Amino acid sequence: MEYKDIKYNELSTEMMNQMKKGAFLTTKDKNKVNTMTIAWAGINIVWNKNVFVIYVRYSRDTFTMLENSHEFTISVPLEKDLKSELAYCGTNSGRDKDKIKDCGLSITKGRKIETPIITDCELHYECKVIYKQAMEPGMIPGDVKERFYSNNDFHMIYYGEIIDSYLIKGE
């Protein structure tokens, strides 16, 4: 496997285009590794730090894992078609299933953090949580609340400082 360092924003257009289809958010808590599909995210600058902002519902296993580990990786498929794997990881819970195994995905430890990356993807971000904020339900427009939060399962917003970003190629 060959690593190529990139700037945090070097492929932000490609990343955001893929984000509409999904990317993998991976967490590790002790010996347990879980991944889920995210489609709501973005790269920002906060406190002069490059950050990846993610949204995780309180009901997700990933929420509990993030609360314990305070780090995550984002793995973005750029060329490979992982549509079925993204669909599976977005509709099944890590509480009940080993989604990585079920999908035949490969992982390897992050370069700077303990949380692994999905090596089936080309683009990777390693992040440490520097801030989190609960969504304020009263501030969400009514039509958005009806569409996305009819069951009151809101998101925690995590700001992860991007401490490493790179491409991988080869097996």
Tokens coding 88: 């599976």
Q: Which domain range does residue 11 map to? A: 2-169
Q: Give the CATH number for residue 125.
A: 2.30.110.10
The angle subtended at Cα 69 by Cα 52 and Cα 160, nearest 5°, is 10
Please report the sign of the dihedral spanned by the C-alpha atoms of residue 148, residue 154, residue 156, residue 157: positive
DSSP string, 59-88: TSHHHHHHHHH-EEEEEE-SSS--HHHHHH
- pLDDT score, position 154: 96
- pLDDT score, position 171: 61
- 60: Cβ contacts below 8 Å, ≥ 6 apart: 36, 93
Domain count, the chain: 1
Q: What is the pLDDT along the chain (171 residues), one digit of tens a residue?
A: 899 999 999 999 999 999 999 999 999 999 999 999 999 999 999 999 999 999 999 999 999 999 999 999 999 999 999 999 999 999 999 998 999 999 999 999 999 999 999 999 999 999 999 999 999 999 999 999 999 999 999 999 999 999 999 999 866
Tokens coding 124: 């990777």
